[in-house]
A = this chain, B = another copy of it.
Amino acid sequence: PAGGEVLFFPDPAMPCRNGKGCRRNNCTYAHGDTSLIRLLQWLGAAKQTLDVCVFSITCDELSEALLAAHNRGVRVRIISDNDQMATKGSDIERLKAAGMPVRWDKDAAHMHHKFMVLDSRFAMTGSFNWTRAGVLENQENVVILDAPGIAAKYAEKFESLWAAYA
């Protein structure tokens, strides 16, 4: 039987920057374990590698978690879609400017994946793009699998796209 965690969106609110200790009266941000908070915890748990292959990345909280991983020595690599990178709010340029290796598809077809491989052991996939609409508006799902065999298949695809988009 597969071990894994399933997350569903939309969340009721974006996470509060003050965390669970927030003392603001009537703070409307989320303080509990939303799906985004769980996903941020997964990114925070990466020790060695994070290979992210996601169509659209515009959610600042997730980009900041990638930057934090990069800054603590995790080898982060990102593949995204060229059409999405041109859209307003894309965080890809910011991540690239921070020294993160980023590649993207060059053609009209969509690099439509939304998967990630974490420490060669965990694989994440689903419908969820890394956007505010994905977090707060749409019906979305993510499954995170503790499954090295499955992770290896996604890692192989990542390497092949990484080479193709060089």
Chain A residues at the B interface, C-beta cutoff of 8 Å:
1-4, 6, 8, 10, 55, 105, 109-115, 123, 125-128, 133-134, 137-141, 143, 145-150, 153-154, 157, 161
Contact = CB atoms under 8 A, between A and B. Distances in A.
A146 B128 CA distance: 22
A160 to B, nearest CB: 9
Nearest to A115: B141
18 contacts: A1-B3, A1-B147, A1-B148, A1-B149, A2-B145, A4-B147, A6-B153, A6-B154, A10-B109, A55-B127, A109-B138, A109-B139, A112-B128, A113-B140, A125-B127, A141-B154, A143-B143, A145-B145
Contacts of A154: 6, 141
Nearest to A79: B139
Given A2-B4, A145-B2, A149-B1, A109 B137 contact: yes
Nearest to A136: B109
A113 B125 contact: no
